Copies of this chain bind each other. A is one copy, B any other.
Amino acid sequence: MGNTEWCALAPNQLRAIDTAKVVRHYRAGETIYNQGDACTGIHCVESGSVAVRFMETDGSSKMLRIAEAGRTLGYSDFFGKSGYRTSAVALNDVTVCHIPAEPLHSALTHNPALGFAFLAHGAEDLREADAQNVGQALHNVRARTVQLLLSLKDKHGEANDAGEIEVKLPLAWQQAAEMIGARPESVSRALQALAEDELVKVSGRMVTIMDLDLLLDDLETAQD
């Protein structure tokens, strides 16, 4: 199960969770759970990337975040206990293990350290949500696009021979647009502008950051 919150567990507790857990595989586009479904437990992403999105009553929706391997999904809905607030959809081939409510609840009651791990996890998610809020309110599409690139580079970036960072995006422009609160056309134009300024190179879903420092400078210098 990798080195996640579960490290906090004693061997016998871990065994109880391990026997109860269900491992599932999803292909790109498949739904892991749907907004409104009853919350039967939590989901841990073991590999792949999962999009978390929220849909409004009128049908419009927004992608809230991307959960990478090692992240836990639906835990906040679990503790909030009123069904899933969001939907989770696989962005590529994904392995998820589902942990039913009961063994989890029991482990939490017997091991405070596990609770701390979840609290830290929750703090991190809130931090990211707040950061997105701030970015959306204060920065223009170009800056938000850069921020998205920067946040994706950690998990999806790879340095090449030229000292550049190649980021293989796990999402379509359309979805990227949804993440930063813009239209696909605007993201397309923003990336084009960045390419013209020789800050990045774009080729399909592969974006190469030519000079990380220059890109960071660009964020600082941004007019809004």
Interface residues of A (CB under 8 A from B): 54, 56-58, 60, 62, 64, 75-77, 79-81, 85-86, 108-110, 112, 115-116, 118-120, 122-127, 129-130, 132-134, 136-138, 178, 181, 220
Could you tell me the distance between the alpha carbons of A80 and B123 in the complex, rounded to whole angstroms? 6
The answer on a CB contact under 8 Å between B80 and A130 is: no
Whether B115 pairs with A116 at a CB distance below 8 angstroms is yes
| Contact (A86, B220) CB under 8 Å given A108-B116, A119-B119 | no
From DSSP, what is the main secondary structure of chain A's interface residues?
A: helix
From A112, which residue of chain B is reached at the shortest CB distance? B109
For this chain, the copies found in one complex come to 2
Partner of A134, one of B62, B79, B80, B120: B62
User: B123, A79: Cβ atoms under 8 Å?
Assistant: yes
Q: Are A62 and B127 in contact (CB-based, < 8 A)? A: no
Closest to A132 in B: B133
- A17 CB → nearest B CB, Å: 16
Q: List 8 A-B contacts (CB under 8 A).
A: A62-B134, A62-B137, A64-B133, A64-B134, A76-B127, A122-B122, A133-B136, A137-B178
Q: Which residues of B contact A130 (CB under 8 A)?
A: 54, 64, 85-86, 129
**Would you give the shortest CB distance from A26 to chain B, in whole angstroms?**
22
Q: From A86, A108, A112, name the one whose CB has the most chain B CB atoms within 10 angstroms.
A: A112
